[in-house]
Amino acid sequence: MRSLAALALLVAACDSTPASERARIWVPSDLAEAARNGATVAGLDAGSLVAPGGATIPWLSPPHTAAAAVQPAGTDGLVVVPAWLAAQPAAYVVAEVWQEVPEAWLQPWYVLFQVPSSGPPAARVPNTDPVVDVLPPSFFYSPFWQLINVVIPPGASPEAYRDARTLVDPSLPRTEANPLLAVLSPGDVVLAAPAGVAPVRPLSGDPVASPRPGAVWVRGAHQASLGFGSGGFRWGEDGRVVEVPLYRFIRQDGRSLLLPDVLGTGPEGQPEPLVLGSTGAPRSGAFSRLILVVPPASAGVFLPADAPLRGASVLSGALQVPEPAPEIAARPDVAQYVGRVALNPACFTDVAGFPGSCRWLDRQEAVEGALLDRRPQPVRFTSPLVGYAGKPVPR
Amino acid sequence: MNRVLVPWLLAALPALAQPAVPESPGSEPADSEPVGYTPPQSTQPPFRISGYVDVGWAKAQGNGSSFVPGDTRLPADYYVDPFAPAVNSRGDVASLDAGGRFVNGFLPYTVGAGGNGTFLVNVASVDLQVSPSGLPVLVFVRAQALPRWNGNGSETRFLLQQAFGRVSPLSSAELSISAGRFDSVFGIEYLENESNLRLGITPSLIARYTTGHPIGVKVLYRFQLPSLSSAISINAAATNHGSQVDSLQAESLSFTGVPVGSARLGYELSFLGTELKLGVSGLYGPRNDQSDPGVTQRQLGVDARIFVGPFSVWGEYVNVKEDPATAPPKPTGTGVYTIASGFRAHGFYVQLAYALPVHGRVLSGASLYGRYDRRKGGFDGTPQLLTSRWTVGGRIELWSVLQLKAEVLFNRENAGAPTVDNDVFTTSAVFSF
């Protein structure tokens, strides 16, 4: 026993991975708590992901705007982050953070169906919540679900089917339905927006879609959920969710340039054409890996003359900030270019050629083709799209 | 299945006669079992070859696995007990067919038979031991061959199941120091790791936690208390991975750089015709299916054996707790998987055996036995699975070199896991030399 005690001391004395770097998945309620405490999550300021009640909302406050926008007291808001997806303006939220968890897998989300007393076909059992069987802190918890409609026996009480164990019975008929992105343990989070104002994509003001609160049964216990619809992700035959890169522009010293991110359409180094689902929602972007990229100092960011961000010190020396030609600044669609980075910023004054003459870094293949300094992070996001191409993402 | 087994057992009854605890030509005397296999020194020639061949026929229900068709929860091996449909003494299962679904390394090895009945060469095993005359040193090597179908073709795995040197520095005390690859020191089921030493055929549901073959060093010290008809032993080891089987934690090397400590404290009480053996085991150290030395595994166990006349009762309890890994991947003996999850399990078995008093030249022994296993375990965030098993079987021994065994495993999913047909009927003929 003494030798065991000595061994325990030896183990304790060994260099272990610091708690802040350990594999973990932060769900929305974890992120909100961290933001309220001013903590970091996977090395990121939690306040950049969730705006607690009474805090200023990132992207809707200086340096991006002249005045601060404040999250209403008593609510926690998922910060709407502007981005580019396949050269289109997009917006996403970080609903979960995955540190050192390398893969996400499609999990079943059982929906109860039953043949009514009037006869076939089977219909969804009213007023019943779906059933799932994996929770955080499992590394295999996943917000990416495959809906499976299971037909329970006629006359059976739905209350007997609140545990997935009862629903995997091969004798119960089942069909696969749509995929779904829904996070568990959402707490009371909503999309970040000032009181009385609908959430929007920052920089452009485009409307965005809000998630839908719901509930599920997990082994007989009720759990809240927050649904983001059927879009945003794809998966392989083995159920592995396809991860895309999320490129974030930084300075050489690692500081964020506070510009919209670029979401990929395929795995890193393998961009694919953007696929839209049956609802019209893009099927990329919702499971992303953070990759920091350093643009060349010769590149420039498109910012109109009155954009508050022009004065941000973090841009100084890292990017060119030329003033766009007045004719370009007066374009009705100018908001769609605010914050976009081009390798040849001289195009901002090319009235005849704009925007086609610009070599934009606004899509995966452009960022990867520019051979930028790329710094992959051991951090992944559940990053559901809430806006795309100027519109709310269809649910 | 019962229709097959029961006549076989009835036929064997008239000639039953076999010690409840089997002894093989190479095994240690029963009264010093805590060291597991430790070949005797003084009474043997300096160089000795022995071994056995285990040939079996087995059939499992369903598709031979515990996986349920249509269950798409992932990882598939977190929602069932893949170890349940064991077919031989190695704990190999009939199948691991998860229907192409993702698994994360909570797996035994398999013979790949599916639900088909099949003959198997479970293992061909050769022991080599050298004990230089007059020196307190023994060198032992156990090499094994396992012909298997791997899903894509036939292959034969070759294992160096044991390879150690042992020094017994004091002639006046029962003290030995071993280095190499040897049986675990945790609990008692490792005593039956080999087919020719095991009373029945298949290991218990908790054997996965206690019957590995770690690499490292171990020390055994045992002293007698003649006035109390008792003996006390301590068996302690510092090894790469602890005591779990290779398919759960690789034994070949340490992924963390820090050894795992394990020990068993044993007590033996012997009267005429009656023996009582008790033990308590502990294990602590880093999990060897990840690389962070701060991610630990802990095991506690208690064991008891009672021998009264022709009856013997074995029982063992183990409690396992493993921290979640801090980073991927998860390397095990069967491959490299995604990441090691936090895990808890506890379980026990109780085995009752009856040896009939027959000691003929041809029929040299026979026994009937039954065992009840129960295990509850699960990973962080996924269901705790409660499973159990009834095992019934019998064995006869011919000419003291051939063991014929047959048993049925009734596997039950009591809670958490979906019900599946995964009972097993298995037989084994063990030829020793």
Question: Range with the lowest mean pLDDT among A2-16, B114-128, B363-377?
Answer: A2-16
* Across B89-93, average pLDDT: 98
pLDDT of A76 over the 50 cut: yes
pLDDT tens for residues B55-82?
999 999 999 999 998 899 999 999 999 9
Q: Which of B292, B381, B383 sits opposite A137 (nearest CB)?
A: B381
Looking at residue B134, what is its pLDDT? 87
Model confidence, pTM: 0.89
* Across B158-181, average pLDDT: 96
Whether the Cβ atoms of residue A134 and residue A182 lie closer than 8 Å to each other: no
Looking at residue A381, what is its pLDDT? 98
Q: Residue A372 phi/psi, 5° resolution?
A: -75, 165
DSSP A315-359: GTTTSB-PPPPHHHHT-TTGGGGTT-EES-GGGGG-TTTTTTT--
pLDDT of B1 over the 80 cut: no
- Nearest chain A Cα distance for residue B153, angstroms: 23
Q: What is the C-alpha separation between A300 and A281, in angstroms, rounded?
A: 30
Q: Per-residue confidence at B103, pLDDT binned at 50, 70, 90?
A: very high
Q: What is the C-alpha separation between B290 and A22, in angstroms, rounded?
A: 12
Question: Range with the lowest mean pLDDT among A215-224, B39-48, B137-146, B372-381?
Answer: B39-48
Q: Per-residue confidence at A182, pLDDT binned at 50, 70, 90?
A: very high
Q: Per-residue confidence at A278, pLDDT binned at 50, 70, 90?
A: confident
Whether the Cβ atoms of residue B394 and residue B55 lie closer than 8 Å to each other: no
| Percent of chain A predicted with pLDDT > 70 | 96
Looking at residue A231, what is its pLDDT? 84
Whether the Cβ atoms of residue A295 and residue A272 lie closer than 8 Å to each other: no
- Nearest chain B Cα distance for residue A372, angstroms: 27
| CB pair distance less than 8 Å for A11 and B70 | no
Residue-averaged pLDDT of chain B: 91
Q: Which of B294, B324, B339 sits opposite A102 (nearest CB)?
A: B339
pLDDT tens for residues B184-233?
999 999 999 999 999 999 999 999 999 999 999 999 999 999 999 999 99
* Across A293-318, average pLDDT: 96
pLDDT of A299 over the 70 cut: yes
pLDDT of B19 over the 70 cut: no
Q: Per-residue confidence at A12, pLDDT binned at 50, 70, 90?
A: low
Whether the Cβ atoms of residue B175 and residue B141 lie closer than 8 Å to each other: no
Cα B14-B20-B24 angle, rounded to 5 deg: 105
pLDDT tens for residues A202-245?
999 999 999 999 999 999 999 999 999 998 999 998 899 999 99
B143–A contact, CB cutoff 8 A: no
Q: Which of residues 100-129 of B touch A (CB under 8 A)?
A: 100-102, 104
* Across B135-164, average pLDDT: 95
Looking at residue B31, what is its pLDDT? 39
Q: Could you give the C-alpha distances from B269 to B172, B173, B229, B281, in angstroms and in order?
A: 21, 19, 6, 18
| CB pair distance less than 8 Å for B258 and A237 | no
Q: Residue B350 phi/psi, 5° resolution?
A: -135, 130
| CB pair distance less than 8 Å for A16 and B294 | yes
Looking at residue A11, what is its pLDDT? 52
- Nearest chain B Cα distance for residue A98, angstroms: 11
A169 chain-B contacts, CB cut-off 8 A: 418-419
Task: Report the complex ipTM.
Answer: 0.89
Residue pointed to by tokens 């600044």: A329
Q: Could you give the C-alpha distances from B56 to A267, B355, B406, in angstroms and in order?
A: 48, 23, 9
Looking at residue B20, what is its pLDDT? 37
Looking at residue A371, what is its pLDDT? 83
Cα B79-B83-B85 angle, rounded to 5 deg: 110
| Percent of chain A predicted with pLDDT > 90 | 88
| Percent of chain B predicted with pLDDT > 90 | 86
What token pair was written down for B94?
Answer: 């009939």
Question: Range with the lowest mean pLDDT among A218-222, A269-273, B3-7, B132-136?
Answer: B3-7
Looking at residue A270, what is its pLDDT? 97
B258 chain-A contacts, CB cut-off 8 A: 10-11, 14
Type of residue found at A166: T
